[in-house]
Structure 1
Amino acid sequence: MKILNEAYWTERYRSGYTGWDIGYASYPLTQYLDQINSKDLKVLIPGAGNGYEAAFAYQKGFSKTHILDISKLPLTTFEDKFPDFPKDQIHQVDFFDHQGSYDLILEQTFFCALDPSLREKYCSKMKRLLKPNGKLVGVLFGVEFEREGPPFGGKLEEYLQLFEKYFTIRKLEPCYNSIPQRMGSEVFIHLVNQ
């Protein structure tokens, strides 16, 4: 198992080895956010990286959007690009050490950046971070990768078996609105903490 700590991710950002970064907020998440009328939700985006989804959400009126990353480097870049974003809503911390309570957690392949041995721990932590009836919504890779990750992939059936132990599944299906380069390789999830 690779040691995917702060130094590892900072080096990935520093070297520009960020193949997961598409340079803008992903369509599945922007289209999901566009459907929400209540902007008063407290939102978390873990593994936010350069924070495109956070910037989109905040600019759409989700003023209680929080971002989290283990690496300070992308968060500093985010702060420089979006100086109006509240500093106390930017968290440089290991996801598993973060404390909070959220209505909505947006997942943009953060799950797939974690070693698969941590997937049960991820679900348990998400359940604790979400308020009752809170939602975990986003995108995972729905393919197996030939090389050792990150990213780490998986299959829809595996995800179903994992998530149904922790959440009510509203959607867990192939993503229909992926960017062209990822069409057919992403899964959209909409899970409810009950």
Structure 2
Amino acid sequence: MAHETNFTDFWQQHYRNDRTPWDLGYPTPVFARLAASGDYPPGQMIVLGAGRGHDARLFARHGFDVLAVDFASEAVATMHLLNDAAHPVQVLQADIFELPMGMNGRFDYILEYTCFCAIDPARRGEYAALAARLLKPGGLYIGLAFPIGRRSGGPPFVVQPDAMIELLSEHGFSIQQREFPHDSVPSRQNIEELIILKR
């Protein structure tokens, strides 16, 4: 990532100072609906930019084998602290772009929320390639694109869902579902979109 160290420090300072407005403090309602629906059989899931792990623990409680990845040590420490022995999440502190090749084709699902908007837009092509290599053929990318918009600057950097879908399609993904979720938290209504793609 361009200015990787600066970005790492940026997010680390936010966690250290408890300035984490992207963190709802509980599982994302949209994901809670998907996890409870029965439409997604439990399998191997990786959560990219997992933060404090609320969504990772949600899917673990529904029987998924979850690996939660984040590079911020404060977030990782919280995930370890909150890990549930009855429904454990594997926690990995790492830069997502440096995940080992041994993980290629390992996962049935990628779960993403507030990770895509945190990376340098110049690396979004690398992100799409990463998603393609991590998923098994037929695997699902489940993303909540946020924040949708066209303003400049960041992080967080705005997301344009059509461009995101086009980028992932260039790496072998096909769109399965997209919606403006009725159960987005009120402050995020109409500025986030659920996007599910199949590899």
Normalising to structure 2: TM-score of the pair? 0.87
**Contact 2:25 2:54 (C-alpha < 8 Å) held by counterparts:** yes
**Contact 1:174 1:188 (C-alpha < 8 Å) held by counterparts:** yes
* Alpha-carbon distance between aligned partners in 2 of 1:153 and 1:77, rounded to the nearest angstrom: 27
Cα gap change, 1:159/1:83 in structure 2, threshold over 3 Å: closer, same or farther?
Answer: closer
**Contact 1:142 1:174 (C-alpha < 8 Å) held by counterparts:** no
Moved over 6 A (4+): none
Tell me the CA shift for residue 56 of structure 1: 1.1
Higher mean Cα deviation, 133-142 or 180-189?
133-142
1:10 corresponds to: 12
Corresponding letter in the other structure for 1:91: L
**Contact 1:145 1:152 (C-alpha < 8 Å) held by counterparts:** no
2:34 corresponds to: 32
* Alpha-carbon distance between aligned partners in 2 of 1:152 and 1:70, rounded to the nearest angstrom: 18
What is the correspondence of 1:10-89 to structure 2 with a 5 Å cutoff? 10-36=12-38, 40-62=42-64, 64-84=65-85, 86=88, 89=90
Normalising to structure 1: TM-score of the pair? 0.89
Sequence identity percentage: 29
- Equivalenced residue count is 191
2:98 corresponds to: 97
* Alpha-carbon distance between aligned partners in 2 of 1:38 and 1:22, rounded to the nearest angstrom: 23
C-alpha RMSD of matched pairs (Å): 2.0
Specify every segment of 5 or more residues in structure 2 that has no aligned partner in the other structure, as ranges.
none
Specify every segment of 5 or more residues in structure 1 that has no aligned partner in the other structure, as ranges.
none
Q: Please tell me whether residue 171 in structure 1 is matched to residue 173 in structure 2.
A: no
**Contact 2:69 2:92 (C-alpha < 8 Å) held by counterparts:** yes
Corresponding letter in the other structure for 1:49: G
* Alpha-carbon distance between aligned partners in 2 of 1:121 and 1:53, rounded to the nearest angstrom: 24
**Contact 2:42 2:62 (C-alpha < 8 Å) held by counterparts:** no
**Contact 1:141 1:187 (C-alpha < 8 Å) held by counterparts:** yes
**Contact 2:148 2:192 (C-alpha < 8 Å) held by counterparts:** yes
**Contact 1:156 1:173 (C-alpha < 8 Å) held by counterparts:** no
